[in-house]
Structure 1
């Protein structure tokens, strides 16, 4: 009997493909212990909630490490593989403490007694089994870094760094004597400088491309060399207008530039023996991998399929494991050995349609958009402009269950890598200043014009949608372009920029000061111009908003302020509040949210003309 026949016989309805994509078990790229590479840690939604899992590669045994109502994704293996560290917050509010559990199982215990709850700002564990470096962020203290030393474990964590601006732990050297710190003491939260300190907090070396905050160049820690006595630090820089790696020798001060000749953003990590670098290259929404031999200076491409590589790691045997997907094909953890590294049992996610690349001339340069349309559809179609968050992020040719759900329901989906997005050079990312929100909407408008004039999109059935920063741009777009959009769907958005600033976590306050040039009290006109609340009375389209009541990034009070204004003027809107933070790690909850959005669009989007 066919599946359809069986459904009729039992009276059951088949699970739709869009829901299967969310429910199908997934796994992350496994992390592995540096000195016990047979022991790994990964994240999976196998139980219906994203949690941490331990994996003994030698025996094949896997076990669930965490089990919390709102899920857990932040975890680290100690270098010796004996302990699993995980971050324990409350209901997704991102404010909590580190706990640890034996790899083989057992009770959780406080990992760093003596440290109060905070937002996490990096963690590094020494190979000696005793050195611990913890980064913290709180509204009261700003950024602090604390060290537990193996020669004085009973003394508890000692503070070795403090500053009001954002900072965090980058890495700990192989011998556990040096800490690399990323900081923004110059006041530009988008561009970090680097400082290397000893365990007592004394400074060893500084590297700063920001010019004290006057030059928009940033640095990032990519990792100390994994070799005993080696003082080389792998660093990401932007000196040629995009992210590239270089090697900074802390002892000598020598900087070794790596000119790789790749056109896009480049990141890197060490091979375990320190002889080569694993290069990740992202260009025009795709990703690829290379091996760079440090002795011969030879760059060799690692064969990966067309699409996106969202993570990669080099194993001690030289094999490279990587997470790959495309818009049409679900993610899989592969190895250059030819094997699928970790294949979760159970239902497999159905594929979707591939993306088409579109380049449109915008007011700030060429804008790249990724387009998906139902197979065989010609148009004009109801079209969802799905706007990515960040804003320092970008959409790519990778598998995404949300856009695929809209395609299944007959919509075209357009995703725009507006100014502010990563992956298109430093100037494109840094263009997002002072006219925040309005700049991104100009680029979206240029792509929207192409979508309509090309015949893809029905101009009367355009949906603006997104989460986080994408939700913010959705509400701002509905108010500043009220005659264009037929519907708005905003998840965990910034809705009232001033209140959001005062209620959000300290690190985001710093980012907002950088983007807008000051606080709401210092530049009130910029906050007003960029706040959706300013334009709420101009909104014409029906609005759907979903929000986590424990969200520290886009707090609930500022969303309530916006919703109250919609309600006061009788605007068509619906609000869904759920008990979590900035999104949900629970599969049922995520499916519910997508279902509510699809239903809202079905009820409120105008019918096709004719």
Structure 2
């Protein structure tokens, strides 16, 4: 039997408190108003910008802390989340794509409100590759297109058009602009490994209007297409292992040439200070296990340390003068974002698997509490460690509140692949728990937070390595009595959707249902149609292009194994998705249909995921009902 449904409509999401109260708890979690951590203008800290779903679509909002006034900045059918403030707080910049395709231009709007205008005249639409705004009005824009590769452009105050200062076929982007506007840090992968960036710092104040920077490809040779190079930092050279670097930000003081950099020299992410003028590197050597990131305190005296370890987060303050490391107290769980304020307090967005997110301050207050009903709580996670073929695998397990195992069990596979599941609130797993399923989330090889070796392990046997780790946890789940072996659901979105389809074909006898959202389904066609930056990543992961390593693409492609799929499969696809394009999904679906495999397809008119709340609810309801029909479990109840 073959079934398919198609729709591009998103329901109006305005919901009264009465409607909210009458909705099932799993829907309430999606509809409850929530906010991101507010970003604040560096020179006007009372002016903030945040994202909220208050209208039912995630949009940008301005907040004047001095007056308490808030207003909605953007209002688009498919939502807006990518925005920032000018340093003086007078302007809001936001990225305008078309229907979620991530291809667009930067727009600008006054903080107090007013008409939008193109922020960088003279630049055509592109994929965004970073943005930096200077105090004197200088703008640095990173772009990526299939035709040009990666380019960086500099716009001077009063200039009619931006000047191109960097170009390369491999992926690159804007890292940061120094406080005095004289230096630009660029992250690049000219060496060809898209997973491990190098850093180049160039002089912004040497570029005159109308001068083209040209192509800085390959060895810079001391310049960047005519733009003087101040410093280079490349940990991929001179060793047998390629190590990545990341730009964390210039020091917040005029004339200070120190750049905060993330490095992997000891097998994990750690911060260090690099003086780009002298070349001096200051290794912080923080005695913390797991990955460590950092940002500057506004006065430059210290660093706010974000420490991620075994799916939880801690915050610390590092004093640069003394080297003292002091804990910033936060509850157990996950800090998704944090920032140090000029008064020394720290604001952070916190949640746990059981407790919905809230923006808190170290002064004890709730910083920003959205009006309206609150999301119901969910169930805490249990940590499970399982011996896998590549080492111990960490999994987060949640059991439904009622009943005893074995339960129907959803293996919810995260995307990325360079990402990880954490002890953080998530509405989709909570919905499965409400319906009597256990939920298992596996931080397979390729996940972040467990060291560089774990993250880099999936090269060449892409997809197959991750599924080995999931298989080890699945065996534990069954033998421990948690999971009903006849009712195992493999589910995920993006890279998780890819692993779902690959798992259904390579492990056809163990999965009862598959639920794949915006997946890679046909790896070769996906490579042909995806954005240029992802082509570079695929070449890194698989060791070349489809023409160069066809056997690896075939081994890692779900399409290769589509005729082995036995489980009913539900696929959700965005028709404007630049990451997992629609044509390659259609190829896979056509193969399922040709052999009469049980499947359903839902296509929605947006990109790689939806920012519309009712659309997200609709997609999960389809998954719940699909699983219920094929497993004999409770459906979505609405």
Q: What is the TM-score normalised by the length of structure 2?
A: 0.92
Partner of 1:15: 23
Task: Report runs of 4+ in structure 1 exceeding 4 Å deviation.
Answer: 10-13
Contact residue 486 and residue 606 of structure 1 kept, 8 A: no
Cα offsets for 1:120-163 (capped at 9, x unmatched): 000000011x200000000000000000123xx23410000000
Residue 176 (1) aligns with residue 181 (2): yes
Partner of 2:146: 139
Partner of 1:599: 625
Residue 191 (1) aligns with residue 199 (2): no
Partner of 1:501: 527
Partner of 1:159: 164
CA shift, 1:212, in A, is 7.1
Partner of 1:546: 572
Residue 125 (1) aligns with residue 130 (2): no
Contact residue 109 and residue 115 of structure 2 kept, 8 A: yes
Contact residue 461 and residue 606 of structure 1 kept, 8 A: no
CA shift, 1:432, in A, is 1.0
**What secondary structure, in the 3-state scheme, does the structure 1 residue paired with 2:231 have?**
strand
CA shift, 1:596, in A, is 0.4
Q: Which of 11-20 and 43-52 deviates more?
A: 11-20
**Please, which runs of 5 or more residues in structure 1 have no aligned partner?**
1-9
Cα offsets for 1:448-479 (capped at 9, x unmatched): 00000000000000000000000000000000
- Return closer, same or farther for 1:265/1:12 CA change in 2, 3 Å cut-off: closer
**What secondary structure, in the 3-state scheme, does the structure 1 residue paired with 2:159 have?**
helix
Give the RMSD, CA atoms, in angstroms: 1.3
Contact residue 186 and residue 213 of structure 1 kept, 8 A: no
CA shift, 1:211, in A, is 1.6
Q: For 2:498 and 2:242, how far apart are their aligned partners in 1? A: 25
5 Å-filtered alignment, 1:146-295, equals 146-150=153-157, 153-199=158-204, 200=207, 201-211=227-237, 215-295=241-321
Which structure carries more relative contact order (alpha carbon 8 Å, separation 6+)? 2
Cα offsets for 1:480-537 (capped at 9, x unmatched): 0000000000000000000000000000000000000000000000000000000000
5 Å-filtered alignment, 1:298-313, equals 298-313=324-339
**What secondary structure, in the 3-state scheme, does the structure 1 residue paired with 2:101 have?**
coil
CA shift, 1:228, in A, is 1.0
Q: For 2:195 and 2:111, how far apart are their aligned partners in 1? A: 37
Contact residue 387 and residue 472 of structure 2 kept, 8 A: yes
Q: In structure 1, which of residues 447, 455, 461 is the aligned counterpart of residue 481 of structure 2? A: 455
CA shift, 1:184, in A, is 0.1
Q: For 1:228 and 1:550, how far apart are their aligned partners in 2? A: 43
**What secondary structure, in the 3-state scheme, does the structure 1 residue paired with 2:563 have?**
helix
Q: For 1:377 and 1:233, how far apart are their aligned partners in 2? A: 54
**Please, which runs of 5 or more residues in structure 2 have no aligned partner?**
1-17, 208-226
Q: For 2:328 and 2:198, how far apart are their aligned partners in 1? A: 32
CA shift, 1:330, in A, is 0.2
CA shift, 1:213, in A, is 8.9
Q: For 1:49 and 1:136, how far apart are their aligned partners in 2? A: 26
Q: For 1:95 and 1:137, how far apart are their aligned partners in 2? A: 9
Q: For 2:359 and 2:288, how far apart are their aligned partners in 1? A: 25
Contact residue 322 and residue 335 of structure 1 kept, 8 A: yes
Contact residue 187 and residue 213 of structure 1 kept, 8 A: no
Contact residue 186 and residue 212 of structure 1 kept, 8 A: no
Partner of 2:55: 47
Q: In structure 2, which of residues 102, 106, 116 is the aligned counterpart of residue 94 of structure 1? A: 102
Q: In structure 2, which of residues 72, 77, 99 is the aligned counterpart of residue 69 of structure 1? A: 77
Q: For 1:192 and 1:459, how far apart are their aligned partners in 2? A: 43
Partner of 1:317: 343
Contact residue 49 and residue 63 of structure 2 kept, 8 A: yes
Partner of 2:117: 109
Tell me the matched-pair count. 596
Partner of 1:4: none
**What secondary structure, in the 3-state scheme, does the structure 2 residue paired with 1:533 have?**
helix
Q: What is the TM-score normalised by the length of structure 1?
A: 0.97
Q: For 1:517 and 1:553, how far apart are their aligned partners in 2? A: 19
Contact residue 355 and residue 377 of structure 2 kept, 8 A: yes
CA shift, 1:539, in A, is 0.2
CA shift, 1:605, in A, is 1.6
Contact residue 460 and residue 606 of structure 1 kept, 8 A: no
**What secondary structure, in the 3-state scheme, does the structure 2 residue paired with 1:440 have?**
helix
Q: For 2:201 and 2:403, how far apart are their aligned partners in 1? A: 56
Q: In structure 1, which of residues 388, 392, 396 is the aligned counterpart of residue 422 of structure 2? A: 396
Q: For 2:125 and 2:327, how far apart are their aligned partners in 1? A: 44
